[in-house]
Amino acid sequence: MSKQPHLGFPAPLLGVDPIRLPVLHDDGEMLILAKLPGILLQQDAWYPRLPILIEAIRYQAAQGKPELVKMGISPSGLWAVTDIDAECAGPVLLTRSREAAEELKNQFGSGAFSFTYEFITQSTPSEDKLECDLPLSRHGRLPRMLVSHTTGKITHTTFSMVDSVGSYTLCSAQTRFPRRHQVLLHALESGLPVLGDRIYAKSNPIMLSRIKRDYHFRRDQDERPLYDGPAYYLKELTISENLTISMPAPPRWQGLVKQLQKYSH
């Protein structure tokens, strides 16, 4: 079994530590990377201090980094086709040429792609499937989205229950064209607030002390959340009938699910 390829980023390109992102798919033109939370794919005024993946790639490509040269990435770098929230982990689609990116963006804009997220909520869906099509608009001043029937753009999300996780619920959210924070806001409006979503659900990150009855605090150490930020990630990106890219659950996500199953009852 061949070892999964990665793209490496020395500090401080994507943060204070060096990072290696798994390559989930590479056909010579399309390249799909597993983005981590806390990293932007492209520049966004909401997050002026977060590292930007596409810029880090282009910087290394311009320097002629051997790893990128070996993968056929030109000095111009890569072009982004899809995007996901800064707070979210998941596959992002890039191409080696601008022309290929424009063609795929047209398909994406026509609803040809499908995005399937998983998230954890303390609620239980009232039905097997829930639909939400509330239009969303960017707030004029704050880094958040709003439901707006006058200025909002068309959105549609389908929610369904996947499994019980202790006293919590694992749900999926599927959409053809994810807008910024769409899953978070649509989930809240559907009665399924995402665990750890401070912006819309006003939900604090889950702590082990909150669910484990005999938890012992250590005076010399601050307790760390089981999962940083909203508990959701992009699990699958479907580009065509013959190409669906699945991303393994992030390690912190797996740890969160394990602890919820063990202690939350």
pLDDT tens across 66-98, in order?
A: 999 999 999 999 999 999 999 999 999 999 999
pLDDT of residue 222: 82
For residues 9 and 57, state if they share a domain: yes
pLDDT band at 217 (very low <50, low <70, confident <90, very high): confident
| pLDDT tops 80 at residue 187 | yes
For residues 177 and 90, state if they share a domain: no
Average pLDDT over residues 151-157: 96
- Could you tell me the two tokens for 82? 């899809």
For residues 12 and 43, state if they share a domain: yes
Structural domain range at position 68: 1-110
> 72, 95, 110 — which closes off a domain?
110
CATH of the domain at 88: 3.30.70.580
- Could you tell me the two tokens for 198? 């401070």
pTM value is 0.95
pLDDT of residue 2: 62
For residues 37 and 72, state if they share a domain: yes
pLDDT of residue 161: 96
CB 157 within 8 A of CB 182: yes
CB 206 within 8 A of CB 256: yes
Among 89-93, 221-225, 251-255, name the one with the lowest average pLDDT.
Answer: 221-225
> 110, 131, 159 — which closes off a domain?
110
Instruction: Report the domain count for the chain.
Output: 2
End-to-end CA distance of the chain: 40
For residues 99 and 130, state if they share a domain: no
For residues 154 and 48, state if they share a domain: no
For residues 2 and 81, state if they share a domain: yes
Q: Report the distance separating Cα 166 and Cα 168, nearest Å.
A: 5
pLDDT band at 169 (very low <50, low <70, confident <90, very high): very high
| pLDDT tops 70 at residue 182 | yes
For residues 205 and 233, state if they share a domain: yes
Q: Which of 41, 53, 45 has its CA nearest to residue 15?
A: 53
| pLDDT tops 90 at residue 219 | no
| Beta strands 114-121; 232-240: pairing state | antiparallel
> 81, 110, 139 — which closes off a domain?
110
Average pLDDT, the chain: 95
For residues 62 and 132, state if they share a domain: no
For residues 123 and 63, state if they share a domain: no
CATH of the domain at 186: 3.30.2350.10
| pLDDT tops 60 at residue 1 | no
111-148 pLDDT tens trace: 999 999 999 999 988 888 999 999 999 998 999 999 99
